[in-house]
Structure 1
Amino acid sequence: MPTSRTSLDLASRKAEVDLARLSLSKCAVIAPFDGVITRRLIKQGQLLKMNDVAFEMADFSDLKVRLRVPERASVALKAGQPVQYRADALPGKDFTATVNRVSPVVDARSGTVEVVVAVDNTTGALRPGLFSRLDIAYDHVAAATLLPKSAVLTNERESSVFVIRDGKAARVAVKLGYESGHQVQVLQGLSPGVEVITAGHTSLTDGAPVDAIKAVDRELAAVKS
């Protein structure tokens, strides 16, 4: 049976509509991953050429922190270790983080090793560029003797502190271990409970008479008598 002109016109119009829909579908800008638009480089009605950049996007759900640690500390770090992560802009909030990778290479100029930490940001609270603080517990020492860092005097040969004995300053050499915040571990040289001078000690000499002023946490400040 011959096809009527009306049927041919209808089929032609349907083909035109399908072709228009196909062209429209190719005009949509679809990102290859889920994320957030961080920058728009085009304006409405602007004509684009092939491979023109329209938007910049980023996925913030899994952030990475890159830091450099001394080579002595790097040997105690390994992938999978938990990290305590905080951001100054979000006080009181802790985020889950783990050591992702420890570089096998030591930078010859700085003597440091690059460590990459992965931070879980599925809540979207964190943003790239925030000032952050990270604590990595790579060893646990039971009953450690701790000393305020402010009490330590260091030269090329050794580290030492001043203690008070019979009203006089006595310089004692110490061997130090791990550091944590404002405190440092004492391995040798001091016994637990010994009071040390934390202020005014840079100008002291061994055996100089001092007057001690009690300070917080049983630390001592001293002035020459």
Structure 2
Amino acid sequence: MILLAGAALLALGATAASCGDEESAVALGNASRGEVAEVVDAPASVTAKAAATLTSPADGTLAAMRVRPGETVRRGQVLAVIDSPGARQRLAQAKAALDAAKRAGGGFGGGVNLTTVQRNTDKAAAAAFDAARTAAGKIADPQVRGALLAHVDAAEKQYDAAARAAGQAVRAVQRGVAGLSSAVSALSAAQRLQAQQAYDLAKSTVDALTLRAPIPGVVQLGGAASPAGGASAEALAGLLGGANAQLPAGVLTPPSAASGPAAGVDVAVPVGGVVTAGAAILTVVDVSALGLVAEVDETDVLLVSPGLSATVELDAATGATYTGEVRSVDVLPTASARGGVAYRVRLSLGDGQFGDGRDAPAPRPGMSAVVHLQVREAADAVTVPAAAVFSADGRDAVWVVRDGRAERVDVTVGVQGQDLVQIVSGVADGDSVVVRGTDQVTAGQEVP
């Protein structure tokens, strides 16, 4: 914990005593009333409100890019179009199978094994559902992806019900307790349902080839890669650490992004370029409300609570100070950069100013910062220099000089600043205390 004081420094009340030609290591000062503030410093990074990387839902080519890098887009706006002959071919095949199922009208040729028909239908349905889930997992828009997965789940439940009914009908025929027509009708219904669902799922994949902005924001080409080219979940968590960050639900990165591109290679896909399913096409970053994610050490985090004000310094804006306010404190810990245990504290980020009054520039997500959290303060408090307080027998203590002799007094410490410490009990305003050389003083020692 790094502590800063907000009050004026306490002046020494006496000069060091002399012993021969050498200056004594013991010096005195006076306790006095003043203001003291306790500030916790923590490393932090600037975060965007949200970000979403749009990926290709299928193999193909980038047919069109409807926006330019740096352009501000609205939610739902068409950003790019993917041409996927494979996806369109699967849709055409599904449409043909659906038309055939409708034309069949439930008739089977003589000698058809109904159990085999049911097994083949179930196999085709399972393959369609698996393919649909795989395709859905490669769609970046969380709403589109969620809607498609929900549709797959609902379709699978609906088909399972139809398949169970068909199975019961087939078994009833085999036992001789029902006519063949009932089993044929049930199997035909299951086949038509499977064909319809396969068509609907294939069409959803084709519809997803038109990439739309899931959030408003600024466009950049490619994925949200780190400086080294990778886009790990941890790195994105830092980038999107704001209260409304969309991670992981709002951000998808292709599996290959973890290794990153080769040095000097632009990962942006050009128009007409070949893309694979899951390849990052572009990213939308919502910078309408910037925030901060700070890592506060476990020894200090209990002093931090929502609503606490802070000042912020950025490495990229030397001499500028920004305002901040704590929005939340994480419950679960994370490993700190120093190897200990820390907790993420999320803050809103306000405007900044330079020392001469000029407005500071707006930061960018990912920039490094230091957050100064003013966790406690005391006004009109009895204070002593921080060097006057030492530990003895497991308690805080101060050497108080009365009638020229040192007396060890146990004290209760309150707000602790870098230079001043509040004394709640044990020392009164005006008391003479040892402020240097506390380890060289003994009880009853005469102190000039």
Partner of 1:84: 310
Change (3 A) 1:207 1:129: farther
State the Cα distance separating 1:84 from its structure 2 match: 2.4
Match of 2:267 in 1: 42
- Give the CA deviation at 1:68: 3.3
CA contact (8 A) 1:42 1:55 kept: no
Alignment pair present for 1:185 and 2:368: no
Structure-2 residue corresponding to 1:93: 320
- CA drift at 1:128: 3.4
* Structure 1 counterpart of 2:372: 134
The size of the alignment, in residue pairs, is: 185
Amino acid at match of 2:267: I
1:154 corresponds, among 391, 410, 434, to 391
Contact between 1:63 and 1:121, CA under 8 Å: does it hold in 2?
A: no
Q: Is the 8 A contact 1:70 1:112 kept in 2?
A: yes
Return the alpha-carbon distance in structure 1 between the equivalents of residues 218 and 418 of structure 2. 36
Give the C-alpha shift of residue 30 in structure 1. Answer: 7.3
Contact 1:85 1:94 in 2 (8 A): yes
| Larger helix fraction of residues | 2
C-alpha root-mean-square deviation of aligned residues, in Å?
4.0
| Residue 118 (structure 1) aligns with | 348
**Structure 2: how far apart are the matches of 1:106 and 1:156?**
32
**CA apart distance, 1:168:** 3.1
CA distance in structure 1 between the aligned counterparts of 2:351 and 2:424, rounded to whole angstroms? 39
For the residues of structure 2 that align with 1:96 and 1:84, how far apart are their CA atoms?
6
List alignment gaps of at least 5 residues for structure 2.
1-61, 67-79, 83-210, 230-265, 335-339, 353-360
Does the residue aligned with 1:207 lie in a helix, a strand or coil?
coil
- Relative contact order, CA 8 A, sep 6+: which one is greater? 2
Say which one has the larger Rg: 2
Partner of 2:291: 63
TM-superposition CA deviations, 1:137-177 (whole Å, max 9, x none): 55x64421122222111245310011333433322111111
Question: Which is strand-richer, 1 or 2?
Answer: 1
Equivalent pair of 1:71/1:113 in contact (CA under 8 Å): no
Work out the CA distance in 2 between the residues paired with 1:55 and 1:72: 40
Aligned residue type for 1:65: V
For 2:219 and 2:419, how far apart are their aligned partners in 1? Answer: 39
Report the TM-score when normalising by structure 2: 0.34
Alpha-carbon contact 1:151-1:199 (below 8 Å) kept: yes
- Give, in angstroms, the shift of residue 71 of structure 1: 7.9
